[in-house]
Structures are given as structure tokens and as C-alpha cells.
Structure 1
């Protein structure tokens, strides 16, 4: 049985959170720059959202001068990404690296395995 590193022991549940990543945070190298505790869990789908680039202020990335990936509610659509388990001590660095995204979406979700 393959271990994804996502099994959470009871004592660790309060110290970690699950983070749905899309855009550049799909890449292991990118997420680990500021979030060294990130552990890959699984590929996931965010239902009733769509991927968009840019934001309401028209901001672009200062690094590569293109639109910044974001998600918006959109019934019937879906965004594919990955879920990382991250230590809560990395939450501020995650927020800082996503500073151009002005929202945090909390989704209630279920895991379906085939």
C-alpha cells in the first residue's frame, strides 16, 4: 500500500490543515519554498468553481508579469488540483505567498475513493 503522507494521527490533527492547491502551488518545488512542512496527500477536484487568471483589481504577478491564478464560484464547473497537508506554523508564510489573492475560501468537502 502506497503511503501518501496524508494519514493524520490524532495528536497531529490540531497542528496541521489540508490545503487545496492549484496554479503554481501544484509544483512541489514551489509549495516547499515557503511551506517546508507540506506533504502531498492526493489529487482532488473542487466542484462548482472555475479557474481564472487575474483578479478584480487587474493585478498580475510581479515575478512573471502574467495573470495570477484564482478560483471563483461557478456552478457546474470544476477545478482540478492537489491537496497538501501543511503544518499550521506555515500558515502565515502561505498567506504571504498568496498575498495578491484577497480571499480565503473554506469548503466543506468529502473524500471519494475509487
Structure 2
């Protein structure tokens, strides 16, 4: 039975997610170390969040001994970053990268392109 190409696209969409990156995950080489499926989507702005350095425990990175880039809700502020389209198989590697984060923030936002 023949099928349309749109079914393939829909299947691919179900296997991917959009990831808003900031800090070191802005760099292509860095994101691809543990997430080879990452494909650049767009530059993005996350409204009502603020960039800070540190984590909820106030600890520095064990790797580079400096502050860890993090974001938190802050009405009126904004964080600029990029959106990567990634395969869901990369979720576990992202979780390992952010093991110090107490919860995953899921923002249901639309991407507006100009």
C-alpha cells in the first residue's frame, strides 16, 4: 500500500522535541557531544524568565568550578537562546547533564518566526 510523505513527517515529529538551550548548550560542538541528533531550529527568546549562575544548592560546577548557567521564572525578564530539535532518544543524556536540576520545566510555547 502506498503512503504519503506526510505520514513520514508526522512519525518523525512524534519522535522529536524542541529544546530551548542557553549557556554552554548554545554551542553546536557542546550540544552534539551527548546529543548527536540536535538540529538547529532558531534563535529564541523565553519571556518571563531570567538567566542566573549557580544552582538551587548554590554549588559551582564540579567540572570547571564556576557558576552553572540556570534560568528561573521572573515576570518581565527574558532569556535569549536557541532552539534545537532533538530525537527523544537524547532525553536521558539531557537529564544526566542537568542532574542537579530538581525538576524539568516544560514550557508549552509556540515558535514565532519573523
Q: Which runs of 4+ in 1 moved over 4 A?
A: none
The DSSP-based 3-state class of the residue aligned with 2:55 is coil
Q: CA deviation at 1:107?
A: 0.8
Question: For residues 55 and 97 of structure 1, what CA distance do their matches in structure 2 show?
Answer: 13
The DSSP-based 3-state class of the residue aligned with 1:102 is coil
Give 1 or 2: higher helix fraction: 2
Where in structure 2 are the equivalents of 1:37-76 lying within 5 Å?
37-76=37-76
Where in structure 2 are the equivalents of 1:1-114 lying within 5 Å?
9-114=9-114
How many pairs align?
107
Unpaired runs of 5+ residues, structure 1, are: 1-7
Question: For residues 103 and 80 of structure 1, what CA distance do their matches in structure 2 show?
Answer: 21
Could you state the TM-score of these two structures normalised by the residue count of structure 2?
A: 0.89
Point out the structure with max Rg over C-alpha: 2
Question: For residues 89 and 112 of structure 1, what CA distance do their matches in structure 2 show?
Answer: 26
Unpaired runs of 5+ residues, structure 2, are: 1-7
Q: CA deviation at 1:11?
A: 1.4
